[in-house]
Structure 1
Amino acid sequence: MKNYFKKILIMFVMVLTIMGIGVISNCYVANAATVGEQLLQPEDGWKRYEDDNSKIFYYGEIGEAKNENLSGGSAHQTGYNGYSEIKFNFTKNKIALIYRAYNYGKNPTISIDGNAPEEIKANNYDGLSILVYKNDSLEDKEHTVVIKTYTSHVFDSIDIDKDGILLAYNEDIKNQLISLDKSSLNLKEGNLKQLKATTTPTGAKVVWSSSDESIAKVDENGNVTGVKEGQATITAQIKDSEIKATCTVTVTKASDTNTGNTTPTNPTDNSGGTSTGTEEPTNIVNIAHAKGDNTNNASGQVSIIFKGVAEAQLKVVKTADVDSVYVGDTFTYTIEVTNTSDKVAKSVVINDNAPNHIDFIVSGVTTTQGKVDSSSTSKNIVVNVGDIQPSGKVTIKIPANVVL
């Protein structure tokens, strides 16, 4: 009988030991989330700060993403229209970043205390509230963080030590902003107009530049001079920062009557169309909408500006190679511009704006004639086509990505 109870006792101890190991194992798993996992709540010993916390400062082109499945229900879309930065400070010895991850674009980077940037693996995975970066072996002190984004990514939240504190980045530069009084400007050759920059803080040093000084020049005071016919982008940038604002300048010949980027009285329908002017050369605007009513191409439109005689007519058709898409998908728009007349359409410029939830992939744009303008961004593509001969056709392909 004693041996019987002894065996029972041994088995009971073994069961408790196995259960104990399981509990320890489960605790270890719960407290050791790895990069690539979904992390809806902070791990034990950590706490979370959402993307809209007032101590987090954003610089550059920033959008907003809302989704009830994101941590806090919202996120900031950084790199929305080009380069952007996120800056903040925190205390203690560990940090984790949560993103809405999807396989697109160049990964963001994080630099802590001015050290060499590390890659944030935001495009290596797919899903909402994904742990994309983790460092739990930092020195126990206050740290400065700079996150740089070069293509569109959705920043969700920050996790730090439960005893840590999120702090504002450098008070002297946290509110740096710049804006221009005009986003577009029409000039004739030889004429001059001034762009005015407003900065925060007031009096910040502004550096001016032109994407093409052979078309439009700008001096240190924002005075823009039209040099020759064409289009250029004027940039005002706060010195020693990535904070900037831009203005698109269209220069026309002194003898031309410039109607600018105005929309015609009867814009074309979804299949493209034509516009005409007077007997004298003039700027003619032609609007074409993408076919279909899907998220991938609804609201897409193309402005075609050209100079030529009234008889020169352009037909514009814009299509997509898919009928339905999901966030993270990549597809391609095709724009076909055909000169349906027997007259030359001169100095054709294609200007395509991205619909909501779409980012153009600028580096992948191709055209059978002309070249992509350096002012192009993920939200606006400009192609300087040049002259289109009678019955000539130009095909432009624009790869795009679907974002939140």
Structure 2
Amino acid sequence: MRNYFKKFIIMFVMAVMLVFGASISAFADDSYVVGTANLNNTVENSAKVGDILKNPEKGWKRYDDSNNKFIYKGSGWRKDNNSNTYNAGHHYCSIPSSVTFKFFGSNFRFIAHRYKNINNYYSDHVYIKIDGIECGDFSEQINGEIYQLLLYQNNSLTKGIHTVELYTTNLGLNFDAIDINNDGYLIDSNESISLDKSTMNLNVGNSEQLTAITTPSAVGVTWTVSDPSIATIEVDPTNGKITKINALKEGTCTITATTNDEYKLSASCTINVTKKTEPIPTPDPQPTDTDYITNIAHAKGTNTNNPGGEVTIIFHGSSDTTLSLVKTTDVKDVWIGDNFTYTLVITNTGTKTAKAIVVNDPAPNHIDFNVSGVTTTQGTVDSSSTSKNIIVNVGDILPGGTVTIKIPSTVIA
């Protein structure tokens, strides 16, 4: 029983050790070291160019030269094991060469050693290029030999993704480590994301496609919109890198695509949404006298103004070219003193709304209008109407709409 218990304890301890080891392997990340103290034990960062900085300060983390995200260019690069360098090793090259890396963050520091010997291995000028822009140079030569030296730092970059290149044009270069601000990280130089448009101008109600391009192509993306009240996205279910932007209301927002991997690279497009403006229609020409319709009424008996003849009634109704205007009377023959009614039927035959229609009818000789008896199926009779002139404020007539106006009239001598 005692042996069984002892064997059980040994197996249990071994199991715990295996589990603990598995946990370390699964979750620990030894690709960088986080700073825990400042140089000279100060409260704030105190390291400056020219200081020996053997460990990253607070708020920084250090990546060693052996990290596979550093790209060494040139045929002469070698890895040297040296206990004086950070993590007991560094890269160096004795001919013109360069090292490139990509990182997310706003600050970085370059750590290396410098010295001058009879062979003059290292260049007296190391040039720095950030995001394709030359940012000056520094010397690696000095009498004697100093290791883990802070040779360059930049604390004024915009927080984001940056590409850095250190290179020489004569002699060589050595590279020990870099420090990056705590919330930053190295990025695989071969990975990238971009959008096929950086800006998009849309009218309210319109849509347009936006596509993300990633390297490697297998990396997926997640889409976000800064203000979904201005524009929305419906991602293509068969290809998550294509999205359709739908403009909802006036304003500006940002659509962002972010990679679904450890680097979380992102690219954005600015969406400008404006209200669609309708073209101002060209006014139709006013009708000529030939556009007016003529109806004829006959006067019977003696007519001192026109004895025994015909009375011609010309009704001048002003109509838009998209309107038809038909005028009729309810009699063929009338005597002086007889009453009759004539009717105006106005129809909108066009495809657009006719705006602010006004009918203005002057009475001819021998005719008086009965203002109080005028009726209209739409609008109102203007208060300035008289027995010699009827004005009806019809208003708007929709396409296919019809308005009927009836005017009681009397034949006078």
**Normalised by the size of structure 1, how large is the TM-score?**
0.34
